[in-house]
Amino acid sequence: MSPIDLHSHSTVSDGLFTPSELIRHAAAQGVRVLALTDHDDVAGLEEAHEAAAEAGVALVNGVEISVTWNNRSVHIVGLRIDPAYAPLRAGLAAIRAGRGERARLMAAELEKAGIPGSLEGAYAYAANPGIISRTHFARFLVEKGIVKDIRTVFKKYLVKGKPGYVAHRWADFADAIGWIQASGGIAVLAHPGRYDLGRTNLASLIADFKEAGGEAIEVVTGSHTADQFAQFARYAKEYDLLASSGSDFHGLGESRMDLGRLPNLPSGCKPVWHNWPEISSPEFQVLSPESGLARHPARMAQHSPLRTQD
Ligand code: AMP
Ligand code: MN
Ligand code: MN
Ligand code: MN
């Protein structure tokens, strides 16, 4: 199991834990390096840093940006970004504004399908009204007993061809990669196995990503099967991309994978964290940069500067 998790959500986007709760849960689950990667917003990072200092977790500044590539929605994770970088902040603010408008259109579509009140219902689940997402609509549909669980919502509603779906134009693919890089961060193609692309489109997505300056892809994620870990490890090698790993945790009961449950990267992958001071500094040498695994857990307890419980 890896103590590094580079993809997670809080109530600042569509997660169920506040940033502080998320950090405490991460620490309790044995995660020592966590990236908070809320959708299209960096507002949770300040609170998360305070909690991380207390809990003994190394927090990586992150964000998950919604972009459009060839008329499809794709997610780009930014790691080690500067959340104060003005062009990044402006880009994210524009995406959030688009979300508000999209939500009104989604509610109108649901109303036509005989489901009233979904706009207010969804916003009731959005602790941060700046980020209103399909997840919040999904929670409302489950609350009303219209659908039995969140997973089923994304089969019967809110997806192409189903009630409540609204086509949407997100940020430009290359712009988002540019904001991340210009802020000092690393652009990571999120859960590439989830886009339901054929071989050819997948290859052109990865090639375009690389061409635009993308540096890493998620190989291990809660969204991939074990076969996909191996498949994307091969893509990473073929395209000379670094490999990332993250649970995409949103909350207990809603996520496929809890924090602290990530397997190690397949052998041969070059981890996106290979040269990060959080992991390569002397205090962290007990963590193998190859696998993300603590080589000597007993020694880690002795030497760790992040140990909080005596
Ligand atoms: P949005 O950004 O508003 O389009 O909402 C996308 C979010 O919906 C994702 O970040 C996931 O949290 C959630 N989501 C999408 N598909 C599924 C699914 N099949 N099961 C559970 N959650 C999903
Ligand atoms: Mn989400
Ligand atoms: Mn995503
Ligand atoms: Mn995510």
Same-domain pairing of 216 and 295: yes
Q: Parallel, antiparallel, or unpaired for β 72-79 and 186-189?
A: antiparallel
Q: Is the CB of residue 102 below 6 angstroms from any atom belonging to ligand 1? A: no
Q: Is the CB of residue 32 below 6 angstroms from any atom belonging to ligand 1? A: no
Q: Is the CB of residue 39 below 6 angstroms from any atom belonging to ligand 1? A: yes
Give the pLDDT confidence score for residue 281 in this predicted structure: 57
Same-domain pairing of 189 and 263: yes
Give the pLDDT confidence score for residue 279 in this predicted structure: 84
207 alpha carbon – ligand 2 mean position (Å): 25
The CATH number linked to 240 is: 3.20.20.140
Same-domain pairing of 188 and 148: no
Same-domain pairing of 196 and 232: yes
Give the pLDDT confidence score for residue 300 in this predicted structure: 35
Give the pLDDT confidence score for residue 181 in this predicted structure: 98
Q: Which residue numbers in the chain have pLDDT < 50?
A: 285-286, 288-310
Q: Whole-angstrom Cα distance, residue 284 to residue 69?
A: 38
| 309 within some domain | no
What's the start-to-end Cα distance of the chain, in Å? 23
250 alpha carbon – ligand 1 mean position (Å): 10
Give the pLDDT confidence score for residue 278 in this predicted structure: 80
Q: Whole-angstrom Cα distance, residue 284 to residue 32?
A: 10
48 alpha carbon – ligand 2 mean position (Å): 18
Nearest CA owner, ligand 1 atom 5? 134
Domain with 271 in it:
4-84+174-303
Helix (H) and strand (E) counts in the chain: 11, 8
Same-domain pairing of 285 and 192: yes
Task: Choose the final residue of a domain: 156, 182, 212.
Answer: 156
Q: Is the CB of residue 223 below 6 angstroms from any atom belonging to ligand 1? A: no
pLDDT in tens, 126-176: 999 999 999 999 999 999 999 999 999 999 999 999 999 999 999 999 999
Same-domain pairing of 28 and 73: yes
| 308 within some domain | no
Same-domain pairing of 142 and 197: no
Nearest CA owner, ligand 1 atom 22? 151
Question: Total structural domains in the chain?
Answer: 2
Same-domain pairing of 230 and 187: yes
Same-domain pairing of 198 and 295: yes
CA distances from 271 to 117, 189, 212, 215 (A): 46, 14, 20, 11
Q: What angle do CA 217, 223, 225 make, to 5 degrees?
A: 95
Mutate to test the pocket of ligand 1, among 133, 162, 252 (most ligand atoms within 8 A of CB): 133
Same-domain pairing of 222 and 276: yes
Q: Is the CB of residue 250 below 6 angstroms from any atom belonging to ligand 1? A: yes
Same-domain pairing of 185 and 256: yes
pTM above 0.85, yes or no: yes
- What is the DSSP-derived secondary structure letter of residue 185? -
Same-domain pairing of 253 and 111: no
Closest atom of ligand 1 to 135 CA is 8
DSSP H or E segment with residue 63: strand 58-69
β partners of residue 307? none
Q: Is the CB of residue 150 below 6 angstroms from any atom belonging to ligand 1? A: yes
